[in-house]
Structure 1
Amino acid sequence: MARPRLDSEARAGLSLIAPPFLYALVILAAPLATILAYSFLTDGYLEVLPEATLQNYGQVLTDPIVRAVMLRSLIVAAVVTFATVVTAFPIAYYVSFMVRPERKAMWLFLITIPFWTSYLIRVFLWKVILGYNGVVNSSLTGLGIIDEPLTFILYNVNAIVITLAHAYAPFAILPIFVALEKIDRSLLEAGRDLGESRLMTFWRVTLPLAMPGVVAATLIVFIPTIGDYVTPEVIGGGKIPMIANMIQVQMLALDNRPLGSALAVTAMVIVALVSALFLFLNRRFLKVRQ
Protein backbone atom coordinates (compact mmCIF):
# COMPACT_ATOMS: atom_id res chain seq x y z
CA MET A 1 0.00 0.00 0.00
CA ALA A 2 2.93 2.36 0.58
CA ARG A 3 4.47 2.01 -2.87
CA PRO A 4 1.61 3.56 -4.88
CA ARG A 5 1.64 6.48 -2.46
CA LEU A 6 5.38 6.96 -3.01
CA ASP A 7 4.87 6.75 -6.77
CA SER A 8 2.15 9.39 -6.63
CA GLU A 9 4.37 11.62 -4.51
CA ALA A 10 7.22 11.12 -6.97
CA ARG A 11 4.97 12.02 -9.90
CA ALA A 12 3.74 15.09 -8.04
CA GLY A 13 7.34 16.12 -7.36
CA LEU A 14 8.33 15.59 -11.00
CA SER A 15 5.37 17.60 -12.22
CA LEU A 16 6.38 20.38 -9.84
CA ILE A 17 10.01 20.60 -10.97
CA ALA A 18 9.42 19.81 -14.65
CA PRO A 19 8.53 23.38 -15.79
CA PRO A 20 11.56 25.11 -14.24
CA PHE A 21 13.81 22.23 -15.31
CA LEU A 22 12.65 22.49 -18.93
CA TYR A 23 12.97 26.26 -18.78
CA ALA A 24 16.55 26.00 -17.48
CA LEU A 25 17.32 23.36 -20.11
CA VAL A 26 16.16 25.61 -22.93
CA ILE A 27 17.65 28.83 -21.58
CA LEU A 28 20.99 27.45 -20.40
CA ALA A 29 21.74 24.13 -22.04
CA ALA A 30 20.64 25.03 -25.58
CA PRO A 31 22.97 28.08 -25.94
CA LEU A 32 25.87 26.14 -24.41
CA ALA A 33 25.27 23.26 -26.81
CA THR A 34 25.19 25.70 -29.72
CA ILE A 35 28.47 27.32 -28.65
CA LEU A 36 30.04 23.90 -28.23
CA ALA A 37 28.88 22.85 -31.71
CA TYR A 38 30.23 26.06 -33.27
CA SER A 39 33.64 25.50 -31.68
CA PHE A 40 34.20 22.38 -33.81
CA LEU A 41 33.27 24.03 -37.12
CA THR A 42 35.40 25.85 -39.65
CA ASP A 43 33.04 28.19 -41.52
CA GLY A 44 30.77 29.31 -38.68
CA TYR A 45 27.46 28.15 -40.09
CA LEU A 46 25.66 25.23 -38.49
CA GLU A 47 23.46 24.61 -41.52
CA VAL A 48 26.48 23.66 -43.64
CA LEU A 49 27.57 21.00 -41.12
CA PRO A 50 31.18 20.50 -42.21
CA GLU A 51 33.43 17.90 -40.66
CA ALA A 52 34.27 18.43 -37.03
CA THR A 53 37.76 19.70 -36.32
CA LEU A 54 39.92 20.58 -33.32
CA GLN A 55 41.72 23.29 -35.25
CA ASN A 56 40.07 26.10 -33.29
CA TYR A 57 41.12 24.65 -29.95
CA GLY A 58 44.64 24.13 -31.27
CA GLN A 59 44.80 27.79 -32.21
CA VAL A 60 43.45 28.84 -28.82
CA LEU A 61 46.01 26.75 -26.92
CA THR A 62 49.01 27.74 -29.05
CA ASP A 63 48.36 31.43 -29.69
CA PRO A 64 50.57 33.50 -27.33
CA ILE A 65 48.14 36.44 -27.46
CA VAL A 66 45.26 34.25 -26.27
CA ARG A 67 47.41 32.86 -23.47
CA ALA A 68 48.42 36.36 -22.38
CA VAL A 69 44.82 37.63 -22.37
CA MET A 70 43.60 34.53 -20.53
CA LEU A 71 46.33 34.88 -17.91
CA ARG A 72 45.50 38.55 -17.48
CA SER A 73 41.82 37.68 -17.04
CA LEU A 74 42.63 35.09 -14.39
CA ILE A 75 44.94 37.45 -12.50
CA VAL A 76 42.47 40.34 -12.59
CA ALA A 77 39.62 38.06 -11.50
CA ALA A 78 41.73 36.63 -8.66
CA VAL A 79 42.80 40.08 -7.44
CA VAL A 80 39.24 41.42 -7.63
CA THR A 81 37.91 38.37 -5.78
CA PHE A 82 40.54 38.63 -3.06
CA ALA A 83 40.02 42.37 -2.59
CA THR A 84 36.24 42.04 -2.60
CA VAL A 85 36.05 39.15 -0.12
CA VAL A 86 38.66 40.65 2.23
CA THR A 87 36.74 43.93 2.21
CA ALA A 88 33.33 42.28 2.49
CA PHE A 89 34.14 40.03 5.45
CA PRO A 90 34.66 42.82 8.04
CA ILE A 91 31.47 44.54 6.88
CA ALA A 92 29.46 41.33 7.13
CA TYR A 93 31.06 40.55 10.50
CA TYR A 94 30.22 43.99 11.84
CA VAL A 95 26.59 43.77 10.71
CA SER A 96 26.19 40.26 12.09
CA PHE A 97 27.96 40.62 15.45
CA MET A 98 28.00 44.34 16.28
CA VAL A 99 24.73 45.74 14.94
CA ARG A 100 21.63 45.32 17.07
CA PRO A 101 19.10 42.85 15.63
CA GLU A 102 16.44 45.48 15.00
CA ARG A 103 18.88 47.52 12.87
CA LYS A 104 20.30 44.71 10.74
CA ALA A 105 17.53 45.05 8.17
CA MET A 106 18.44 48.71 7.69
CA TRP A 107 22.09 47.83 7.13
CA LEU A 108 21.20 45.15 4.60
CA PHE A 109 18.96 47.70 2.91
CA LEU A 110 21.90 50.10 2.64
CA ILE A 111 24.19 47.39 1.29
CA THR A 112 21.76 46.61 -1.52
CA ILE A 113 21.44 50.25 -2.63
CA PRO A 114 23.99 49.76 -5.49
CA PHE A 115 21.56 47.26 -7.01
CA TRP A 116 19.12 50.10 -7.59
CA THR A 117 21.12 51.34 -10.56
CA SER A 118 22.29 49.56 -13.67
CA TYR A 119 25.71 47.92 -13.65
CA LEU A 120 26.59 49.95 -16.75
CA ILE A 121 25.70 53.20 -14.98
CA ARG A 122 27.94 52.30 -12.04
CA VAL A 123 30.82 51.61 -14.41
CA PHE A 124 30.38 54.96 -16.12
CA LEU A 125 30.23 56.67 -12.71
CA TRP A 126 33.64 55.23 -11.88
CA LYS A 127 34.90 56.59 -15.20
CA VAL A 128 33.66 60.00 -14.14
CA ILE A 129 35.26 59.64 -10.70
CA LEU A 130 38.65 58.54 -12.05
CA GLY A 131 38.63 60.68 -15.19
CA TYR A 132 41.05 63.47 -16.11
CA ASN A 133 38.67 66.10 -14.77
CA GLY A 134 36.91 63.69 -12.41
CA VAL A 135 36.22 63.80 -8.70
CA VAL A 136 39.62 62.46 -7.62
CA ASN A 137 41.68 64.81 -9.77
CA SER A 138 39.48 67.81 -9.00
CA SER A 139 39.73 67.16 -5.25
CA LEU A 140 43.50 66.69 -5.30
CA THR A 141 43.98 69.75 -7.46
CA GLY A 142 41.67 71.86 -5.30
CA LEU A 143 43.55 70.83 -2.14
CA GLY A 144 46.84 71.75 -3.77
CA ILE A 145 48.23 68.22 -3.46
CA ILE A 146 48.92 68.01 -7.20
CA ASP A 147 49.46 70.70 -9.83
CA GLU A 148 48.14 68.78 -12.81
CA PRO A 149 45.47 66.05 -13.06
CA LEU A 150 46.76 62.50 -12.79
CA THR A 151 46.55 60.47 -15.97
CA PHE A 152 47.48 57.04 -14.61
CA ILE A 153 44.39 56.42 -12.45
CA LEU A 154 42.20 55.55 -15.44
CA TYR A 155 42.56 53.17 -18.37
CA ASN A 156 44.70 50.66 -16.49
CA VAL A 157 44.37 47.41 -14.55
CA ASN A 158 44.13 49.18 -11.19
CA ALA A 159 41.06 51.11 -12.30
CA ILE A 160 39.47 47.90 -13.59
CA VAL A 161 40.11 46.14 -10.27
CA ILE A 162 38.63 49.03 -8.25
CA THR A 163 35.51 49.21 -10.42
CA LEU A 164 34.89 45.47 -10.38
CA ALA A 165 35.53 45.18 -6.64
CA HIS A 166 32.98 47.91 -5.96
CA ALA A 167 30.42 46.42 -8.37
CA TYR A 168 30.53 42.94 -6.84
CA ALA A 169 30.93 43.94 -3.17
CA PRO A 170 27.24 43.36 -2.26
CA PHE A 171 27.40 39.90 -3.83
CA ALA A 172 30.21 39.04 -1.41
CA ILE A 173 28.79 40.70 1.69
CA LEU A 174 25.39 38.99 1.67
CA PRO A 175 26.46 35.29 1.58
CA ILE A 176 29.13 35.91 4.22
CA PHE A 177 26.57 37.66 6.41
CA VAL A 178 24.16 34.72 6.06
CA ALA A 179 26.91 32.27 7.07
CA LEU A 180 27.87 34.39 10.09
CA GLU A 181 24.24 34.66 11.17
CA LYS A 182 24.00 30.85 11.33
CA ILE A 183 26.87 30.56 13.81
CA ASP A 184 25.74 29.57 17.28
CA ARG A 185 26.95 32.34 19.59
CA SER A 186 27.29 29.87 22.46
CA LEU A 187 30.22 28.28 20.63
CA LEU A 188 32.09 31.58 20.75
CA GLU A 189 31.30 32.00 24.43
CA ALA A 190 32.52 28.45 25.09
CA GLY A 191 35.81 29.22 23.34
CA ARG A 192 36.37 32.31 25.45
CA ASP A 193 35.39 30.42 28.62
CA LEU A 194 38.12 27.89 27.79
CA GLY A 195 40.72 30.65 27.79
CA GLU A 196 40.94 31.42 24.08
CA SER A 197 41.55 35.00 23.04
CA ARG A 198 39.13 36.74 20.68
CA LEU A 199 41.60 36.37 17.83
CA MET A 200 42.07 32.63 18.36
CA THR A 201 38.32 32.15 18.81
CA PHE A 202 37.80 33.86 15.49
CA TRP A 203 40.49 31.73 13.81
CA ARG A 204 39.40 28.40 15.26
CA VAL A 205 35.62 28.84 15.47
CA THR A 206 34.20 31.79 13.53
CA LEU A 207 36.25 31.54 10.35
CA PRO A 208 35.78 27.78 9.75
CA LEU A 209 32.05 28.07 10.38
CA ALA A 210 31.86 31.08 8.04
CA MET A 211 33.77 29.36 5.22
CA PRO A 212 30.64 28.25 3.33
CA GLY A 213 29.74 31.92 2.96
CA VAL A 214 33.30 32.82 2.00
CA VAL A 215 33.34 30.06 -0.62
CA ALA A 216 30.01 31.22 -2.01
CA ALA A 217 31.19 34.83 -2.12
CA THR A 218 34.44 33.83 -3.83
CA LEU A 219 32.72 31.86 -6.56
CA ILE A 220 29.97 34.46 -7.01
CA VAL A 221 32.60 37.16 -7.58
CA PHE A 222 35.27 35.18 -9.45
CA ILE A 223 33.10 33.50 -12.09
CA PRO A 224 31.40 36.62 -13.53
CA THR A 225 34.49 38.80 -13.09
CA ILE A 226 36.66 36.72 -15.37
CA GLY A 227 34.05 37.05 -18.10
CA ASP A 228 33.30 40.74 -17.61
CA TYR A 229 33.18 42.71 -20.86
CA VAL A 230 31.89 46.17 -19.96
CA THR A 231 34.48 47.27 -17.40
CA PRO A 232 37.62 46.50 -19.45
CA GLU A 233 35.99 48.22 -22.42
CA VAL A 234 34.90 51.37 -20.55
CA ILE A 235 37.35 51.72 -17.66
CA GLY A 236 40.23 50.11 -19.54
CA GLY A 237 39.51 52.16 -22.63
CA GLY A 238 39.73 49.02 -24.76
CA LYS A 239 43.49 49.02 -24.19
CA ILE A 240 43.49 46.17 -21.66
CA PRO A 241 41.28 43.46 -23.17
CA MET A 242 40.17 40.45 -21.19
CA ILE A 243 38.90 37.16 -22.52
CA ALA A 244 35.32 38.42 -22.95
CA ASN A 245 36.55 41.30 -25.12
CA MET A 246 38.52 38.87 -27.29
CA ILE A 247 35.45 36.65 -27.68
CA GLN A 248 33.39 39.70 -28.71
CA VAL A 249 35.96 40.66 -31.34
CA GLN A 250 36.02 37.16 -32.81
CA MET A 251 32.24 36.76 -32.75
CA LEU A 252 31.13 40.17 -34.02
CA ALA A 253 33.99 42.25 -35.39
CA LEU A 254 35.75 39.42 -37.29
CA ASP A 255 32.68 37.16 -37.71
CA ASN A 256 34.81 34.17 -36.68
CA ARG A 257 32.22 32.32 -34.63
CA PRO A 258 34.08 28.99 -34.47
CA LEU A 259 37.19 30.56 -32.92
CA GLY A 260 35.08 32.76 -30.64
CA SER A 261 33.14 29.70 -29.50
CA ALA A 262 36.36 27.79 -28.86
CA LEU A 263 37.60 30.71 -26.75
CA ALA A 264 34.34 30.71 -24.78
CA VAL A 265 34.42 26.96 -24.16
CA THR A 266 38.09 27.07 -23.15
CA ALA A 267 37.39 29.93 -20.74
CA MET A 268 34.48 28.00 -19.19
CA VAL A 269 36.66 24.92 -18.73
CA ILE A 270 39.44 26.95 -17.11
CA VAL A 271 36.98 28.67 -14.77
CA ALA A 272 35.48 25.31 -13.82
CA LEU A 273 38.93 23.85 -13.08
CA VAL A 274 40.00 26.86 -11.01
CA SER A 275 36.73 26.77 -9.06
CA ALA A 276 37.09 23.02 -8.42
CA LEU A 277 40.67 23.56 -7.23
CA PHE A 278 39.53 26.29 -4.86
CA LEU A 279 36.79 24.06 -3.45
CA PHE A 280 39.31 21.24 -2.97
CA LEU A 281 41.79 23.51 -1.17
CA ASN A 282 39.00 24.90 0.99
CA ARG A 283 37.93 21.38 1.97
CA ARG A 284 41.52 20.53 2.89
CA PHE A 285 41.70 23.73 4.96
CA LEU A 286 38.58 22.81 6.88
CA LYS A 287 39.90 19.30 7.52
CA VAL A 288 43.15 20.74 8.87
CA ARG A 289 41.26 23.16 11.11
CA GLN A 290 39.10 20.31 12.42
Structure 2
Amino acid sequence: MEQGSKKGRFGGSEAANGLLLISPTAIYATLLLAAPLFAVVVYSLMVDSKAGLAGGLTFQNYIEVWTGRIDRALMLRSLTVSAMVTLVTVLLAYPVAYFVSFHIRQDRKSLWLFLITIPFWTSYLIRVFLWKVILGYNGVINSGLMSLGIIGEPLTIINYSIGSMIMTLAHAYAAFAILPIFVSLEKIDRSLLEAGQDLGESKLRTFWRVTLPLSMPGVIAAVLIVFIPTIGDYVTPELIGGGKLPMIANRIEAVMLKQNDKALGSAIAMTAMAIVALVSVAFLLLNKRFLKGQK
Protein backbone atom coordinates (compact mmCIF):
# COMPACT_ATOMS: atom_id res chain seq x y z
CA MET A 1 0.00 0.00 0.00
CA GLU A 2 1.34 3.44 -0.95
CA GLN A 3 2.21 5.83 1.82
CA GLY A 4 -0.24 8.45 0.50
CA SER A 5 -3.17 6.09 1.03
CA LYS A 6 -2.43 5.25 4.68
CA LYS A 7 -5.33 5.45 7.08
CA GLY A 8 -5.09 7.22 10.41
CA ARG A 9 -6.54 6.16 13.72
CA PHE A 10 -9.78 8.08 13.02
CA GLY A 11 -10.36 6.36 9.69
CA GLY A 12 -9.35 9.25 7.42
CA SER A 13 -6.06 10.06 5.74
CA GLU A 14 -3.07 10.99 7.88
CA ALA A 15 -3.28 14.59 6.70
CA ALA A 16 -6.97 14.83 7.59
CA ASN A 17 -6.36 13.25 10.99
CA GLY A 18 -3.52 15.69 11.61
CA LEU A 19 -5.81 18.61 10.86
CA LEU A 20 -8.46 17.07 13.11
CA LEU A 21 -5.99 16.84 15.98
CA ILE A 22 -4.78 20.43 15.73
CA SER A 23 -8.13 21.99 14.89
CA PRO A 24 -9.25 22.52 18.54
CA THR A 25 -6.01 24.34 19.31
CA ALA A 26 -6.20 26.33 16.09
CA ILE A 27 -9.81 27.34 16.76
CA TYR A 28 -8.94 28.32 20.33
CA ALA A 29 -5.97 30.41 19.18
CA THR A 30 -8.12 32.07 16.51
CA LEU A 31 -10.84 32.99 18.99
CA LEU A 32 -8.31 34.14 21.58
CA LEU A 33 -6.00 36.18 19.33
CA ALA A 34 -7.38 36.78 15.86
CA ALA A 35 -10.96 37.64 16.83
CA PRO A 36 -10.08 40.47 19.28
CA LEU A 37 -7.52 41.83 16.82
CA PHE A 38 -10.11 41.76 14.03
CA ALA A 39 -12.55 43.60 16.29
CA VAL A 40 -9.99 46.32 17.01
CA VAL A 41 -9.30 46.70 13.27
CA VAL A 42 -13.03 47.07 12.54
CA TYR A 43 -13.47 49.57 15.40
CA SER A 44 -10.58 51.65 14.09
CA LEU A 45 -12.31 52.02 10.72
CA MET A 46 -15.62 53.25 12.16
CA VAL A 47 -16.91 56.51 13.61
CA ASP A 48 -17.64 56.69 17.32
CA SER A 49 -20.53 58.98 18.19
CA LYS A 50 -22.83 59.41 21.15
CA ALA A 51 -25.10 56.79 19.62
CA GLY A 52 -22.21 54.32 19.50
CA LEU A 53 -20.06 52.94 16.71
CA ALA A 54 -21.73 53.63 13.39
CA GLY A 55 -21.18 54.62 9.79
CA GLY A 56 -19.26 53.05 6.95
CA LEU A 57 -15.58 52.24 6.94
CA THR A 58 -13.33 55.30 7.07
CA PHE A 59 -9.66 56.15 7.55
CA GLN A 60 -10.52 59.37 9.37
CA ASN A 61 -9.35 57.97 12.71
CA TYR A 62 -5.94 57.06 11.29
CA ILE A 63 -5.61 60.48 9.68
CA GLU A 64 -6.35 62.06 13.04
CA VAL A 65 -3.73 59.87 14.72
CA TRP A 66 -1.04 60.55 12.12
CA THR A 67 -1.65 64.30 12.03
CA GLY A 68 -2.44 64.83 15.71
CA ARG A 69 0.34 66.60 17.59
CA ILE A 70 -0.38 64.81 20.88
CA ASP A 71 -0.45 61.33 19.37
CA ARG A 72 2.76 61.88 17.42
CA ALA A 73 4.54 63.29 20.46
CA LEU A 74 3.47 60.38 22.68
CA MET A 75 4.38 57.83 20.03
CA LEU A 76 7.82 59.42 19.66
CA ARG A 77 8.26 59.44 23.46
CA SER A 78 7.22 55.79 23.66
CA LEU A 79 9.67 54.79 20.93
CA THR A 80 12.47 56.81 22.55
CA VAL A 81 11.88 55.42 26.04
CA SER A 82 11.54 51.87 24.73
CA ALA A 83 14.73 52.20 22.67
CA MET A 84 16.65 53.58 25.66
CA VAL A 85 15.31 50.85 27.95
CA THR A 86 16.28 48.21 25.40
CA LEU A 87 19.77 49.65 25.02
CA VAL A 88 20.39 49.92 28.78
CA THR A 89 18.93 46.49 29.50
CA VAL A 90 20.95 44.68 26.83
CA LEU A 91 24.17 46.49 27.76
CA LEU A 92 23.71 45.47 31.39
CA ALA A 93 22.48 41.95 30.60
CA TYR A 94 25.30 40.96 28.25
CA PRO A 95 28.14 41.08 30.84
CA VAL A 96 26.02 39.08 33.30
CA ALA A 97 25.21 36.44 30.69
CA TYR A 98 28.85 36.36 29.56
CA PHE A 99 30.10 35.93 33.11
CA VAL A 100 27.71 33.07 33.84
CA SER A 101 28.47 31.35 30.54
CA PHE A 102 32.26 31.64 30.52
CA HIS A 103 33.34 32.03 34.14
CA ILE A 104 30.95 29.87 36.15
CA ARG A 105 31.45 26.14 36.53
CA GLN A 106 29.02 24.02 34.54
CA ASP A 107 27.44 22.47 37.62
CA ARG A 108 26.71 25.91 39.14
CA LYS A 109 25.23 27.69 36.14
CA SER A 110 21.71 26.52 36.94
CA LEU A 111 22.06 27.96 40.44
CA TRP A 112 23.14 31.33 39.06
CA LEU A 113 20.23 31.42 36.62
CA PHE A 114 17.94 30.52 39.49
CA LEU A 115 19.28 33.43 41.54
CA ILE A 116 18.88 35.82 38.59
CA THR A 117 15.20 34.99 38.28
CA ILE A 118 14.34 35.27 42.00
CA PRO A 119 13.37 39.00 41.86
CA PHE A 120 10.89 38.14 39.12
CA TRP A 121 8.87 35.81 41.29
CA THR A 122 7.02 38.82 42.63
CA SER A 123 4.37 40.75 40.75
CA TYR A 124 5.49 43.32 38.18
CA LEU A 125 3.26 45.87 39.89
CA ILE A 126 4.93 45.26 43.26
CA ARG A 127 8.38 45.73 41.74
CA VAL A 128 7.32 49.03 40.18
CA PHE A 129 5.95 50.19 43.55
CA LEU A 130 9.27 49.28 45.17
CA TRP A 131 11.13 51.44 42.66
CA LYS A 132 8.73 54.26 43.45
CA VAL A 133 9.69 53.89 47.13
CA ILE A 134 13.38 53.89 46.23
CA LEU A 135 13.26 56.86 43.84
CA GLY A 136 10.53 58.90 45.55
CA TYR A 137 10.89 62.43 46.88
CA ASN A 138 11.26 61.03 50.40
CA GLY A 139 12.48 57.66 49.16
CA VAL A 140 15.47 55.53 50.07
CA ILE A 141 17.99 57.32 47.86
CA ASN A 142 17.04 60.85 48.88
CA SER A 143 16.77 59.94 52.57
CA GLY A 144 20.14 58.19 52.49
CA LEU A 145 21.92 61.06 50.75
CA MET A 146 20.39 63.61 53.13
CA SER A 147 21.34 61.58 56.21
CA LEU A 148 24.95 61.46 54.96
CA GLY A 149 24.93 65.22 54.42
CA ILE A 150 25.65 64.89 50.69
CA ILE A 151 22.55 66.84 49.69
CA GLY A 152 20.56 69.46 51.58
CA GLU A 153 17.17 68.75 50.02
CA PRO A 154 15.66 65.82 48.08
CA LEU A 155 16.67 65.43 44.46
CA THR A 156 13.85 65.89 42.02
CA ILE A 157 15.78 64.63 39.00
CA ILE A 158 15.30 61.00 40.04
CA ASN A 159 11.60 61.42 40.72
CA TYR A 160 8.94 61.57 37.99
CA SER A 161 11.48 61.61 35.17
CA ILE A 162 12.30 59.73 32.00
CA GLY A 163 15.49 58.46 33.65
CA SER A 164 13.59 56.89 36.53
CA MET A 165 11.20 55.23 34.08
CA ILE A 166 14.11 53.81 32.09
CA MET A 167 15.77 52.52 35.26
CA THR A 168 12.56 50.83 36.44
CA LEU A 169 11.79 49.22 33.09
CA ALA A 170 15.40 48.07 32.63
CA HIS A 171 15.25 46.26 35.96
CA ALA A 172 11.82 44.83 35.15
CA TYR A 173 13.02 43.17 31.95
CA ALA A 174 16.64 42.39 32.87
CA ALA A 175 16.15 38.63 33.27
CA PHE A 176 14.30 38.41 29.96
CA ALA A 177 17.38 39.85 28.26
CA ILE A 178 19.94 37.80 30.18
CA LEU A 179 18.44 34.40 29.39
CA PRO A 180 18.43 34.52 25.54
CA ILE A 181 21.92 36.01 25.49
CA PHE A 182 23.13 33.28 27.85
CA VAL A 183 21.62 30.56 25.64
CA SER A 184 23.31 32.07 22.59
CA LEU A 185 26.68 32.23 24.35
CA GLU A 186 26.34 28.62 25.51
CA LYS A 187 25.99 27.47 21.90
CA ILE A 188 29.35 28.95 20.89
CA ASP A 189 32.00 26.33 20.22
CA ARG A 190 34.82 27.12 22.64
CA SER A 191 37.36 25.65 20.21
CA LEU A 192 36.74 28.65 17.92
CA LEU A 193 37.85 30.99 20.67
CA GLU A 194 40.92 28.89 21.38
CA ALA A 195 41.77 28.86 17.69
CA GLY A 196 41.55 32.64 17.52
CA GLN A 197 43.94 33.04 20.45
CA ASP A 198 46.29 30.41 18.98
CA LEU A 199 46.47 32.56 15.85
CA GLY A 200 47.72 35.49 17.92
CA GLU A 201 44.47 37.34 18.57
CA SER A 202 44.05 39.00 21.94
CA LYS A 203 41.08 38.09 24.13
CA LEU A 204 39.46 41.42 23.32
CA ARG A 205 39.81 40.97 19.56
CA THR A 206 38.65 37.37 19.83
CA PHE A 207 35.56 38.56 21.65
CA TRP A 208 34.92 41.31 19.10
CA ARG A 209 35.48 39.13 16.01
CA VAL A 210 34.17 35.74 17.21
CA THR A 211 32.13 35.80 20.43
CA LEU A 212 30.03 38.90 19.79
CA PRO A 213 29.02 38.03 16.19
CA LEU A 214 28.13 34.47 17.16
CA SER A 215 26.02 35.70 20.08
CA MET A 216 24.11 38.28 18.05
CA PRO A 217 21.01 36.07 17.57
CA GLY A 218 20.62 36.04 21.35
CA VAL A 219 21.18 39.79 21.51
CA ILE A 220 18.55 40.43 18.84
CA ALA A 221 16.13 38.12 20.64
CA ALA A 222 16.75 40.07 23.85
CA VAL A 223 16.13 43.34 22.01
CA LEU A 224 12.77 42.13 20.75
CA ILE A 225 11.76 40.67 24.11
CA VAL A 226 12.44 44.00 25.83
CA PHE A 227 11.39 46.45 23.11
CA ILE A 228 7.97 45.02 22.27
CA PRO A 229 6.39 45.09 25.77
CA THR A 230 8.04 48.30 26.99
CA ILE A 231 6.64 50.41 24.16
CA GLY A 232 3.16 49.54 25.38
CA ASP A 233 3.84 49.76 29.10
CA TYR A 234 1.12 51.49 31.08
CA VAL A 235 1.97 50.98 34.75
CA THR A 236 5.45 52.52 34.88
CA PRO A 237 4.56 55.91 33.30
CA GLU A 238 1.54 56.09 35.60
CA LEU A 239 3.40 55.29 38.85
CA ILE A 240 7.05 56.23 38.26
CA GLY A 241 6.22 59.06 35.88
CA GLY A 242 3.49 60.29 38.19
CA GLY A 243 1.12 60.58 35.24
CA LYS A 244 3.16 63.56 34.02
CA LEU A 245 5.07 61.58 31.37
CA PRO A 246 2.41 59.47 29.64
CA MET A 247 3.25 57.04 26.87
CA ILE A 248 1.10 55.72 24.07
CA ALA A 249 -0.60 53.09 26.26
CA ASN A 250 -1.74 55.81 28.66
CA ARG A 251 -3.09 57.76 25.69
CA ILE A 252 -5.07 54.72 24.50
CA GLU A 253 -6.53 54.24 27.99
CA ALA A 254 -7.54 57.90 28.20
CA VAL A 255 -9.17 57.95 24.76
CA MET A 256 -11.04 54.67 25.11
CA LEU A 257 -12.16 54.87 28.75
CA LYS A 258 -12.22 58.55 29.71
CA GLN A 259 -13.21 60.04 26.34
CA ASN A 260 -15.19 56.90 25.43
CA ASP A 261 -13.93 57.05 21.85
CA LYS A 262 -13.30 53.40 21.02
CA ALA A 263 -12.77 54.07 17.32
CA LEU A 264 -9.96 56.59 17.82
CA GLY A 265 -8.44 54.50 20.61
CA SER A 266 -8.43 51.45 18.34
CA ALA A 267 -6.76 53.45 15.57
CA ILE A 268 -4.02 54.57 17.99
CA ALA A 269 -3.55 50.98 19.14
CA MET A 270 -3.31 49.67 15.56
CA THR A 271 -0.82 52.40 14.64
CA ALA A 272 1.39 51.50 17.59
CA MET A 273 1.09 47.82 16.71
CA ALA A 274 2.08 48.50 13.10
CA ILE A 275 5.19 50.43 14.19
CA VAL A 276 6.20 47.65 16.59
CA ALA A 277 5.64 45.08 13.83
CA LEU A 278 7.89 46.99 11.41
CA VAL A 279 10.66 47.28 13.99
CA SER A 280 10.31 43.58 14.87
CA VAL A 281 10.51 42.53 11.21
CA ALA A 282 13.65 44.63 10.77
CA PHE A 283 15.34 42.91 13.70
CA LEU A 284 14.18 39.48 12.54
CA LEU A 285 15.73 40.11 9.13
CA LEU A 286 18.91 41.20 10.89
CA ASN A 287 18.83 38.01 12.95
CA LYS A 288 18.38 35.96 9.77
CA ARG A 289 21.42 37.66 8.31
CA PHE A 290 23.56 36.72 11.33
CA LEU A 291 22.31 33.14 11.26
CA LYS A 292 23.12 32.91 7.57
CA GLY A 293 26.61 34.29 8.20
CA GLN A 294 27.28 31.56 10.77
CA LYS A 295 26.66 28.74 8.31
Which residue in 2 is equivalent to 1:3? 4
Equivalent position SS for 2:173: helix
Give how far 1:286 is off.
Answer: 7.1
- What residue is the counterpart of 2:192 in the other structure? 187
2:149 to 144, 148, 166: 144
- Which of 170, 175, 179 in structure 2 is aligned with 1:170? 175
The 2-side partners of 1:46 and 1:92 are apart by: 55
Change (3 A) 1:214 1:136: same
**1:84 counterpart = 2:85:** no
**Total equivalences in the alignment:** 290
Select the residue among 244, 248, 267 that pairs with 1:243: 248
Amino acid of the residue matched to residue 64 of structure 1?
R
The 3 A distance-change label for structure 1 pair 60 and 47 is closer
Return the letter of the residue paired with 1:84.
Answer: T
Deviation (angstroms), 1:283:
5.1
Q: CA deviation at 1:288?
A: 8.0
Match among 211, 220, 226 for residue 231 of structure 2: 226
Shift of 1:197: 1.4
Q: Distance in 2 between matches of 1:190 and 1:17?
A: 47
CA deviations over 1:137-195 (Å, ceiling 9, x no partner): 11111111111111221111011000000000010001111111111111111111122
Q: 1:67 aligns with which of 72, 79, 85?
A: 72
**Counterpart amino acid of residue 125 in structure 2:** L
> What are structure 1's unaligned runs of at least 5 residues?
none
Mark the CA change 1:184 to 1:15 in structure 2 (over 3 Å): closer, same or farther. farther
Q: TM-score, normalised by structure 1?
A: 0.93
- Quote the Cα distance in structure 2 between the aligned partners of 1:44 and 1:21: 36
Contact in 1 for aligned 2:188/2:214 (Cα 8 Å): yes
Q: Which of 119, 122, 129 in structure 1 is aligned with 2:124?
A: 119
Q: Which amino acid aligns with 1:115?
A: F
Q: In structure 2, what residue type is equivalent to 1:32?
A: L
TM normalised by structure 2 equals 0.92
User: How many Å separate the matches in 2 of 1:283 and 1:230?
Assistant: 33
Q: Secondary structure of 1:68's partner?
A: helix
Please give the per-residue CA displacement for 1:173-223, whole angstroms capped at 9, x wherever unaligned. Answer: 011111111111111111111222111211221112111111110000000
Q: Structure 1 residues 45, 93: CA separation in 2 closer, same or farther (over 3 Å shift)?
A: farther
Deviation for aligned residue 1:48: 5.8
Separation (CA, whole Å) in 2 of partners of 1:288 and 1:45: 57
Tell me by how many angstroms 1:49 deviates. 4.8
**Which deviations, in whole Å up to 9, do the C-alpha atoms of 1:236-280 show, x marking residues without a partner?**
000011000000001101100000000000000011112223334
In structure 1, the residue matched to 2:33 is: 28
